[in-house]
Amino acid sequence: MSVNTPVDVSEVTNQVPQRTNYAPDSSPYSVTKNLNGQAVPQYNAYLSDPLLLQCATRFPETLQKELEQTGRFVLSADAQEMARLANSEVPRLQTYDRLGNRIDQVEYHPAYHALMRRSVAHGLHSSIWENSPQQSPESGRRHQARATRFYLTAQLECGHLCPLTMTSASLAVLMTSPALYDEWSPRILTRKYDASNKPPVKKAGLTIGMGMTEKQGGTDVRANTTRADHAGNGVYRLNGHKWFMSAPMSDAFMVLAQANGQAAGDNKSGLSCFLVPRLLSDGSGNGFRLQRLKDKLGNRSNASSEVQFENALGQMVGEPGQGVKTIIDMVTLTRLDCAVASAGLMRAGMSEAVHHARHRSVGGVPLINQPLMQRVLADMSLDVAAATALSLRLARAFDLAANDRMEAAFARVMTPVVKYWVAKIAPSLLYEAMECLGGNGYVEEGPLARLYREAPVNAIWEGSGNVMALDIVRVLHRAPRLFDDVLEWIGTQLGRRGQGTVAVLRAAMQVTMTDEGAARMLTEQMALAASAACLKELGADHIADAFIETRLGGQWRTTYGMIDARHDALGIINALYPQE
């Protein structure tokens, strides 16, 4: 009688190692060898990104070291677990306390606060405005330095970045009212995260939110009905609602409301911007009623709320009736962050896909060595490279715009273009990355499902695709000279291909001048041409050439893998994703 040998189902082969470090550099428990004495790869999101390193090549050594530390932290097991917990243990609304008192608070998981604490300490909410001696290495490149940090941090967790981007951008609005800026900025510019439920004057550090959208108007903020009645001494009482207001535990909010009852002798009214604290100086609530939290597809660590204002006290920021003009600089800065975060999400997903392909075999052959997979990954890599180069180039324009006409034109024209295109392509690329992993990419245990759900929001908030495209039309009609400056730069960077590319863009501009329905076509063509120019400017010629041939004038394509045999697919992958 024979006895069958049982199969050991506990031993699994052909598995992909996790792309995480046991501990961050700062931990005394950082591991460089496993129990068998074999070297353990030390993953670093900064050092493993050649294009990012090229963009940061002129950063001083102190900044480079900080970015190295951030790159390692992003891929540490501790940080990845924080990101998972912050999104699985979602914020909870506490409308009343145990005794029935109205408190209107949101409870976050400690992992969320840990992420906030680290990002605040690294200045994601403030660094572009700081003038301390410690910030001198970033002089002249503040937006680029912050965008690089933001790009790396977005690869870890995006939800907590929402209050940080709003806080950073809010300072541009506060500057329009010097007295308010002097009062609020000292506590905003600290690098101390203070989550306590105290009035602003008693806190070590502050965050600022934004309230624009209402039920009836959505994007059409001029249709807002929230009313602000003058109550004397420069104070207004706000009554109304906001349909989407993220980070509701911020210490104050920039709110758009219809100003009424101006001071004697001043009959100006209309949509205006107000700074509305969540708590009054005595710690009591400021007529700020949280109705509910949104149950969102992604961005789940970041609470988004519906708010009712009941005689909430606020101070006007900027001029009466100029609310949109006042807040637009804040919106512009947040649009840059939307693009940078989307590029970071794409890089994170793409890194997972390449890592998987290098360690997973089918039929005894690693996926990375199979021609079709090579072409899919190479094709995807081109879009990630373009999104990264374009987003960080926009940050550079923000740094240089004050003293350079072309850079100012680039910042104005390309902000909606970059936000439109980078945010739009992120979800489809992340889906393709998920497919590269198969079922393992589809489950919540890994990061790809969360990255995929996170991606769509950047194309929606701070102006959806049509809003971005119509902004381009507005610039085209009001300041066509700005396009001339940008097109000249694109033509110069593209060399022999420049003249033909610029001619196509000018033709698209002419069509759009009389047919705003063509606005998306112009916007996308501007994005593709500028992306190619950015890659050329960085000296990534073989990447740029492959991008140009497959995106500018190539065959119609709706999925990845359409790169042909003329291009070295594996060479593209290895150039952008070196073996770790």
pLDDT over 90 (residue 27): no
How far from 29 is each of 45, 117, 310, 577, CA to CA, in Å? 20, 21, 52, 27
Instruction: Give mean pLDDT, residues 104-128.
Output: 98
Lowest mean pLDDT among 21-30, 276-285, 366-375, 553-562: 21-30
Q: Which residue bears the tokens 């070196």? A: 578
The CATH number given to 182-321 is 2.40.110.20
What per-residue confidence (pLDDT) applies to 252? 99
Q: Which residue ranges does the chain devote to CATH 1.20.140.10?
A: 326-576
pLDDT over 90 (residue 262): no
What per-residue confidence (pLDDT) applies to 42? 76
What per-residue confidence (pLDDT) applies to 84? 98
Instruction: Give mean pLDDT, residues 254-274.
Output: 79
Residues 574 and 568: their CA atoms lie apart, in Å, by 10
What per-residue confidence (pLDDT) applies to 267? 54
Q: Which residue ranges does the chain devote to CATH 2.40.110.20?
A: 182-321
Q: Are 23 and 78 in contact (CB under 8 A)?
A: yes
Instruction: Give mean pLDDT, residues 115-121.
Output: 99
pLDDT over 80 (residue 472): yes
| pLDDT tens track for 88-115 | 999 999 999 999 999 999 999 999 999 9
Give the pLDDT band of residue 334 (cuts 50, 70, 90).
Answer: very high
Residues 315 and 274: their CA atoms lie apart, in Å, by 5
What per-residue confidence (pLDDT) applies to 7? 58
Give the pLDDT band of residue 17 (cuts 50, 70, 90).
Answer: confident
Other beta carbons within 10 angstroms of residue 503's beta carbon come to 12
pLDDT over 70 (residue 25): no
| pLDDT tens track for 401-447 | 999 999 999 999 999 999 999 999 999 999 999 999 999 999 999 99
Six token digits for residue 358: 């290098």
What per-residue confidence (pLDDT) applies to 308? 98
User: Which CATH architecture fits 326-576?
Assistant: Up-down Bundle (1.20)
Give the pLDDT band of residue 20 (cuts 50, 70, 90).
Answer: confident
**Average per-residue pLDDT for the chain:** 93
Residues 378 and 446: their CA atoms lie apart, in Å, by 23
Kind and range of the H or E element at 317?
strand 304-317
Q: Are 379 and 550 in contact (CB under 8 A)?
A: yes
What residue spans of 438-447 are helical by DSSP H? 439-442
How far from 119 is each of 51, 125, 150, 192, 200, CA to CA, in Å? 23, 8, 9, 10, 20
Kind and range of the H or E element at 307?
strand 304-317
Residues 249 and 281: their CA atoms lie apart, in Å, by 16
What per-residue confidence (pLDDT) applies to 82? 98
What per-residue confidence (pLDDT) applies to 173? 98
Instruction: Give mean pLDDT, residues 10-18.
Output: 78
The pTM assigned to this predicted structure is 0.94
What per-residue confidence (pLDDT) applies to 9? 56
| pLDDT tens track for 226-242 | 999 999 999 999 999 99
| pLDDT tens track for 485-529 | 999 999 999 999 999 999 999 999 999 999 999 999 999 999 999
The DSSP secondary structure of 373-438, one letter per residue, reads HHHHHHHHHHHHHHHHHHHHHHHHHHHHGGG-HHHHHHHHHHHHHHHHHHHHHHHHHHHHHHHHHT
Other beta carbons within 10 angstroms of residue 97's beta carbon come to 10
Residues 270 and 262: their CA atoms lie apart, in Å, by 10
Give the pLDDT band of residue 119 (cuts 50, 70, 90).
Answer: very high
574 versus 28: the higher-pLDDT residue is: 574
Give the pLDDT band of residue 365 (cuts 50, 70, 90).
Answer: very high
What per-residue confidence (pLDDT) applies to 8? 61
pLDDT over 60 (residue 37): no
What per-residue confidence (pLDDT) applies to 134? 58
| pLDDT tens track for 434-448 | 999 999 999 999 999
**12-26, 27-41, 243-257: range with highest mean pLDDT:** 243-257
515 versus 33: the higher-pLDDT residue is: 515
pLDDT over 50 (residue 30): no
Question: Which one-letter DSSP state was computed for residue 337?
Answer: H
Instruction: Give mean pLDDT, residues 459-463.
Output: 96
Residues 483 and 489: their CA atoms lie apart, in Å, by 10
Six token digits for residue 364: 């005894």
| pLDDT tens track for 155-172 | 999 999 999 999 999 999
16 versus 510: the higher-pLDDT residue is: 510
What per-residue confidence (pLDDT) applies to 29? 41
| pLDDT tens track for 518-549 | 999 999 999 999 999 999 999 999 999 999 99
The single-letter code of the amino acid at 406 is M
pLDDT over 70 (residue 190): yes
**CA quadruple 32, 33, 34, 35: dihedral sign:** negative
